[in-house]
Chains A and B, each alone.
Chain A
């Protein structure tokens, strides 16, 4: 994989430090340059009153419509509860082999499960989720390696079990090895 540009757009408030650490991890994992941007949208347009959640499909389409000529992949960062019609919630989603993805910190937070806040754990989970969705945009499907960041995760415990990195096979797949 040649060096490519990735853009992370934050929609909603994120600590500067969080975004910088996130950017650093992504740059290191994909060996690419990274742009950090702020996005401004009216999230109420994506709110589903019956589900009291935000429609992940529509948000993904919106992020995909934001074309950045200098960037080959774009990932939208959110802090709201995302859903798609068939699932009760999602951590994030992406176009497989496409140019866009989204990830939300909302369901990664311990407080969503009645547990005490843990900032470090939350940041780790968010990094993993962002790298995971970006992996999909590069064409990677779910990996069976237990510790690979591309392993499918349907609850936070799954995310905690995997590492923040792509496994050897996935790295070879992306030409990073």
Chain B
């Protein structure tokens, strides 16, 4: 799926423009031309070119000034300067200002071919580098999907089978269950893996911002639109686009999105040129889209267009057997990141983590381990390093007695079952505390 390289020729001599244009067209390039620097800069505002081949001596703005302006706007642009008046000074000046190369008119056909081939090679290397970086990031992230439970094995099986298709996927699950990681895993295992994975958090953007983010915009489309900008759909060409929190998009955006998904074409905000892009769409939500469809807050046709395959990620409380594996993984991850020697976790702390319900799912567990490594003694994570006390109550209480029992146990653990200190903290006497321990049959974790 190699893309077609585009070349813009800038020269005031018509015969030069025509000759080069037909030469490059025969070589299969997309070519445009401009007779002066001003026109070239106007063309570059609305279109993008991989290579700009510009004459130095032109009436009005010369090639060197144009080179500086192009470079100020896009430092990656490949500009080759050409002149009939070759001097070492102008060549050095052009190269210092960022020209890719320099060629003297008239060219030897072989020199021109080699020059363009070198530029094309450079473009391919940059593209390849970016794609590999993206791929490496994706693959690193795929390793983050940890789980040996039956529930997670099912998720991974689904990922593997759906990855090879082009079908739209909706990933459902509570916040913090790792929906984006699953989306990356689908992309990284798909034939699109060498192309971009573009992520958009729909919930974080207002309607107009989301529109410009997804479709891109033309210069002057709205206040602050200083330059043309590619949209995420355009960036995801040949790759995958991940739309997180899809349930939050407005009714207007739902219509727009449906149209794009059906035609795979769109128009930039403020533009009039239809752009096509070949992308695979993966969405995620923590909402029940079906019930939103029933209530009329989400379009039914869009729902069916997106919901070709549904992958549900179970919350962490439904796969507690994965907790030790995850804890181990996060300990290794953060010890490495923080450049600390590997730490262990004591059994009491691990038991308590497995009792905990984790309303924030894996994200909450990860944050807990990260914090424990920061505040801990650097050797072993113990109960006191884990911020379970603040949240444990809310996960387990079903009655006032449950609440009291959990709260007392929390404070007892905090003071390592020192009765006097716990009673003082609870502002009760020691006898009352003993009665409560007896009433709720509370025991230290290692005696349970």
Contact = CB atoms under 8 A, between A and B. Distances in A.
Nearest to A51: B106
Interface in B13-71: 13, 15-16, 18-20, 22-23, 25-28
Contact of B109 (A85, A87, A142): A87
Interface string A81-117: 0011111111001011000000000000000000000
B107 A93 contact: no
B351 interface: no
A154 interface: yes
A86 B27 contact: no
B108 A88 contact: yes
B112 interface: yes
Contacts of B294: none
B106 A87 contact: yes
Interface in A131-168: 136, 141-142, 152, 154-155
Contacts of B398: none
B18 A88 contact: no
Most buried by B among A86, A88, A141: A86
B166 interface: no
A95 B16 CA distance: 16
B359 to A, nearest CB: 58
Q: Is the interface of B mostly helix, strand, loop or mixed?
A: helix
Given A86-B20, A90-B109, A142 B28 contact: yes
A89 B19 CA distance: 12
A57 interface: yes
Contacts of B206: none
Interface residues of A, number: 18
A87 to B, nearest CB: 5
A85 B19 contact: yes
Most buried by B among A83, A152, A155: A152
A83 B28 CA distance: 22
A87 B107 contact: yes
A85 B26 CA distance: 17
B13 A87 contact: no
Contacts of B340: none
B106 A141 contact: no
A57 B109 contact: no
Contacts of A90: 109
A164 to B, nearest CB: 19
Size category of the B interface is: 20 to 34
Nearest to B9: A86
B386 to A, nearest CB: 61
A147 B120 CA distance: 22
B106 A83 contact: yes
A90 B13 CA distance: 19
A50 B266 CA distance: 52
B113 interface: yes
A92 B168 CA distance: 51
A98 B412 CA distance: 91
Contacts of A57: 15, 18-19
Contact of B112 (A87, A96, A141): A87
Contacts of A87: 19, 23, 106-109, 112
Contacts of A95: 22
B22 A85 contact: no
Interface in B65-89: none
Interface string B183-194: 000000000000
A155 B110 contact: yes
B105 interface: yes
A154 B13 contact: no
B19 A141 contact: no
Given A96-B26, A142-B28, A86 B19 contact: yes
A133 B195 CA distance: 37
Given A85-B13, A141-B25, A154 B110 contact: yes
B55 to A, nearest CB: 10
B106 A86 contact: yes
A152 B113 contact: yes
Interface in B103-123: 105-110, 112-113
Contact of A85 (B15, B25, B27): B15
Contact of A88 (B16, B20, B106, B113): B106
A173 to B, nearest CB: 12
Contacts of A142: 26-28
B104 to A, nearest CB: 10
Contact of A86 (B25, B107, B110, B113): B107
B325 to A, nearest CB: 49
Contacts of B107: 86-88
Given A86-B23, A155-B110, 14 more contacts: A85-B13, A85-B19, A85-B106, A86-B16, A86-B106, A87-B112, A88-B107, A95-B22, A136-B26, A141-B27, A152-B27, A152-B113, A154-B108, A154-B109
Nearest 9 A/B pairs, CB to CB:
A154-B109, A154-B110, A84-B19, A85-B15, A86-B19, A141-B28, A142-B27, A86-B16, A88-B108
28 contacts: A57-B18, A84-B19, A85-B13, A85-B19, A86-B19, A86-B20, A86-B105, A86-B107, A87-B19, A87-B23, A87-B112, A88-B107, A88-B108, A93-B22, A96-B22, A96-B25, A96-B26, A136-B26, A141-B25, A141-B26, A141-B27, A141-B28, A142-B28, A152-B113, A154-B108, A154-B109, A154-B113, A155-B109
Interface of A: 57, 83-90, 93, 95-96, 136, 141-142, 152, 154-155
